[in-house]
Chains A and B, each alone.
Chain A
Amino acid sequence: MSASVKAAIKQGLFTALALSLVTTFVSPLFAGALTTDVTTAKGNETGSDNILGGTPTRVTWEAVVDEGEQVVGVDVVYPQGSSFSDESSIKVTVLDGTTRMNPENTASLDAATTTAKVNFSEPLQSGLRLRLEMYKVSLPNVDGAVSLNGTYKLADGTVKDLGASPSIEVTYASVAEGISNWLDQQPFVQAWNSVTFLRLFFQPQLIVSSIPTVATGWLISLGLVLVGFPLAIPLGLIAAFMKISKARILHILAAIYTGVVRGTPLFLQIYIAFFGLPLLGININQYVLSILVLAFNSGAYLCEIFRAGIQSIPKGQFEASRSLGMSGTQTMFSVIIPQTVRRVIPTMTSEFILLYKDTSLLAAVGVMELMLYSRSIVSLTGNMTPYIVAACFYLIVTLPLIRVVGNLEKRLALADNGGGAPKKKRKGRRDAFSQMREEISSTTETIEAAEQKVAEVQVETAAAMAGDASVAIDTNAAAARAQERHEATPTDTDERGDAS
């Protein structure tokens, strides 16, 4: 208690000292002059009172003519980096107390020197207040205080310096904020925003100004999943081996792991990890913990994907390598896994997509990621647009991947059910293909076509059941069985692409 009081006193002393110094040096400049007492600028950032640099704003400058002075002209000079545009304008007001005077004057803005010039035909008498309002002028794009300078001319022809005006706090405006503020002025944007739905969900200014913030969150989400997912792969692989192992204890351990993780919501797992570990006195960086939770969760799903993938390899492959004298390990690593990889890539990609979307759940425990960044703007503006922007950031990753998965699955289905289908994509292999064709009797072709239809129907059925990894793999297994039955017919040449 006493410590904070001491600190407060100390701070107070410093402030007093600083103030006295300022007064000592600054006051003489004002003596017997035109005293600038107001310099303000209108807030020009959407949704806040900030004054953005480099962005048109309205600057108000006021000065009072001191005792014994007669002012005939004023030049207000803007600091380096300011700019006027064709649309900039100036309005002169002279007040006597609250009475508005209208002395004859010429006022202009000089863009080259960024100076506002005002000349009066009749000198302004002492006690009068001169107000200059300069519209659509831009202050320098810096972070910090700026002030206006300049000179004034007295009736006797002497020119004196104006004291430094009160300062204006300017905020640095990013490109996005610049564009956003430009949009603010556009008639078509105003027309668009006059529709309530469009204004609340698709406000152009907010789209532009929220992109940098949401993009930061996007990078974090992507980072979390790009680190977490590769960690999940060895975890899933080990669990898969444990699950197919003959050792009962290993099988049970893996079954508990996959059962518990897949049987409970990730949301709950995040809560337990984020609130449970600190209770145990374990404090891990929240991003590291996020990655660990994601990897732990995804590992269980990958385990099932790998297990199903390994078990979908035709039994004949195990038997062939066994009869060639290969050991269990040799069979696994040189025969089964290389073939499994090809089969599980589509489902693995689906799992990656799911995990990427699930990073949003981390928002609940305050991990700053895509979801939370967009929510922060939403709560500031009360507008849904940042969520729409967030949706787009999710989609730019997921949509291409969904497409990739689709293509891979199509190729896999073809490879598993023998050739025969799309000839267009296989120009380079036409020769081998037609040669194979010649060797196949027409009967086989008919059987093959029927076989393929069956497999296609199987694939479609599985696709209709949407997204369930195990179902997708089951299809692969079904297709693999179909292949086993009909290995006599040449299979798709696509397999070549995967030959190491």
Chain B
Amino acid sequence: MTNGDASMGNTRTIVSLDNIEKSFGDNVVLKDISLKVAKGEVVSIIGSSGGGKSTLLRCATLLETFERGSLAYGDMIVARKEPDGRAVYLGKDILKQARLKFGLVFQNFNLFPHRTVLQNVMDAPIRVQKRDKGEVEKEAHELLSKFGLGGKENMVPCELSGGQQQRVAIARALCMNPEILYFDEPTSALDPELTQDVLKIIRDLAKEHMTMVIVTHEMTFARDVSDRIVFIDKGVIVEEGSPEQVIDNPQHERTRSFLRKIYD
């Protein structure tokens, strides 16, 4: 074993997707995609719209089911790959446990409009994880004030700006203490001025070694924050590597043309 392998061995794999294939009807959206994310790693998924980035994220977060391949969170197998490649999902209990391993931040925040900011953050830990209310409340307050939302606990989402709502959504996901946090284009619905607030929080989380997978169109941000960039186009991983490799020195023609379009 080389030194490199040893260091890889020390870092636990949080999520691994193997040979994923997913189609909507006749339209194959993901073709034989494999992705592993290690603990503490920040992976950004880039690519043009309709390329399958969000679908991949939705497959990983169990919002969509894939037909072929396997999915595992750590040692917990969520979808098993049959010898013929077909994916077989495990029981409801396993899926429920798996959902507690990750947090998901949506493009449209999807806060509960009928609950206050604090309730949005506290509901799931109390109801789903059955944690102590006082403890959860303390943690929720800490998270909210850390994200610059102190004093807004009793407001309802519609009273907040988009940036504030997205920060609440991140706090809501974090309050579940997930092992990994997924972001599905977290700033796409935001105005440019508000984008930075949200990106700053993600950068801070990266510094704290939060494991994250981010689907994004913000190239500068992706280069700064990521350990690894994955470029997906037409349902396949075209190129994968460090930000320097993929963004500054792309090998594939498709990556180059995509980046050209972005920067023009």
Asked if B257 lies at the interface with its beta carbon under 8 angstroms from chain A, I say no
Asked if A492 lies at the interface with its beta carbon under 8 angstroms from chain B, I say yes
Nearest CB in chain A: distance from B264 CB, A? 21
Contact call B162/A488, Cβ cutoff below 8 A = yes
Contact call A319/B158, Cβ cutoff below 8 A = no
Contact call B63/A334, Cβ cutoff below 8 A = no
Nearest CB in chain B: distance from A108 CB, A? 80
Asked if B258 lies at the interface with its beta carbon under 8 angstroms from chain A, I say no
Q: Note all chain A residues with C-beta closer than 8 A to B193.
A: 439, 441
Q: Note all chain B residues with C-beta closer than 8 A to A17.
A: none
CA distance A342 to B156 in the complex (A): 15
Contact call A499/B116, Cβ cutoff below 8 A = yes
Q: Which listed residue, B96, B102, B110, B157, touches A319 by the CB 8 Å rule?
A: B110
Q: Note all chain B residues with C-beta closer than 8 A to A441.
A: 191-193
Closest-by-CB residue of B relative to A320 is: B110
Selecting from B124-132, B136-144, B215-223, B232-240, the interface stretch reads B124-132
Residues 275-325 (chain A) with a chain B CB within 8 angstroms: 314, 316-317, 319-325
Contact call A488/B114, Cβ cutoff below 8 A = no
Contact call A499/B99, Cβ cutoff below 8 A = no
Q: Which listed residue, A316, A326, A419, A490, touches B106 by the CB 8 Å rule?
A: A316
Query: For the side of the interface on A, what is the size category?
Result: 35 or more
Asked if B161 lies at the interface with its beta carbon under 8 angstroms from chain A, I say yes
Interface string of A310-350 (1 = CB under 8 A from B): 00001011011111111100100011001100100000000
CA distance A36 to B187 in the complex (A): 105
Given contacts A316-B106, A488-B189, contact A324 B162 (CB under 8 A): no
Contact call B114/A500, Cβ cutoff below 8 A = yes
Q: Which listed residue, B110, B155, B161, B172, touches A439 by the CB 8 Å rule?
A: B161
Closest-by-CB residue of A relative to B192 is: A441
Given contacts A334-B123, A440-B191, contact A323 B99 (CB under 8 A): yes
Asked if B109 lies at the interface with its beta carbon under 8 angstroms from chain A, I say yes
Nearest CB in chain B: distance from A3 CB, A? 72
Q: Which listed residue, A322, A338, A432, A490, touches B63 by the CB 8 Å rule?
A: A322
Q: Which listed residue, A321, A326, A487, A488, touches B191 by the CB 8 Å rule?
A: A488
Q: Which listed residue, B114, B128, B194, touches A325 by the CB 8 Å rule?
A: B128
Residues 479-500 (chain A) with a chain B CB within 8 angstroms: 484, 487-493, 495-496, 498-500
Asked if B241 lies at the interface with its beta carbon under 8 angstroms from chain A, I say no
Nearest CB in chain B: distance from A230 CB, A? 23
Given contacts A324-B172, A444-B191, contact A334 B156 (CB under 8 A): no
Closest-by-CB residue of A relative to B191 is: A441
Nearest CB in chain B: distance from A341 CB, A? 9
Asked if A463 lies at the interface with its beta carbon under 8 angstroms from chain B, I say no
Asked if A415 lies at the interface with its beta carbon under 8 angstroms from chain B, I say yes
Nearest CB in chain B: distance from A97 CB, A? 94
Asked if B48 lies at the interface with its beta carbon under 8 angstroms from chain A, I say no
CA distance A496 to B129 in the complex (A): 27
Given contacts A322-B63, A323-B99, A484-B108, contact A490 B161 (CB under 8 A): yes
- Name the residue in A317, A319, A338 with the highest tally of chain B Cβ atoms < 10 Å from its Cβ: A319
Contact call B128/A319, Cβ cutoff below 8 A = no
Q: Which listed residue, B61, B104, B108, B160, touches A490 by the CB 8 Å rule?
A: B160
CA distance A153 to B113 in the complex (A): 94
Closest-by-CB residue of A relative to B172 is: A324
CA distance A323 to B104 in the complex (A): 6
Q: Which listed residue, A323, A436, A495, touches B61 by the CB 8 Å rule?
A: A323
Closest-by-CB residue of A relative to B125 is: A324
CA distance A319 to B169 in the complex (A): 13
Q: Note all chain A residues with C-beta closer than 8 A to B159.
A: 429, 432, 436, 490, 493, 496
Nearest CB in chain B: distance from A63 CB, A? 84
CA distance A484 to B163 in the complex (A): 16
Contact call B162/A490, Cβ cutoff below 8 A = yes
Contact call A495/B114, Cβ cutoff below 8 A = yes
Q: Which listed residue, A339, A429, A487, touches B109 by the CB 8 Å rule?
A: A487
Residues 160-210 (chain B) with a chain A CB within 8 angstroms: 160-163, 165, 172-173, 176, 189-194
Q: Note all chain B residues with C-beta closer than 8 A to A493.
A: 156, 158-159
Asked if B47 lies at the interface with its beta carbon under 8 angstroms from chain A, I say no
Contact call A320/B63, Cβ cutoff below 8 A = no
CA distance A381 to B223 in the complex (A): 90
Q: Which listed residue, A330, A339, A444, A499, touches B127 by the CB 8 Å rule?
A: A330
Given contacts A330-B128, A500-B114, contact A491 B158 (CB under 8 A): yes
CA distance A338 to B104 in the complex (A): 23
CA distance A489 to B162 in the complex (A): 6
CA distance A489 to B164 in the complex (A): 11
14 additional contacts, CB 8 Å, given A321-B112, A488-B162?
Answer: A320-B112, A324-B123, A334-B127, A335-B112, A339-B113, A439-B193, A441-B193, A488-B108, A488-B190, A491-B157, A495-B158, A496-B159, A498-B114, A500-B114
**Could you list some 7 contacts between A and B, CB below 8 A?**
A320-B106, A335-B112, A432-B155, A487-B109, A488-B162, A488-B190, A496-B158
Report which A residues bind B (CB closer than 8 A).
314, 316-317, 319-327, 330, 334-335, 338-339, 342, 415, 419, 429, 432, 436, 439-441, 443-444, 484, 487-493, 495-496, 498-500
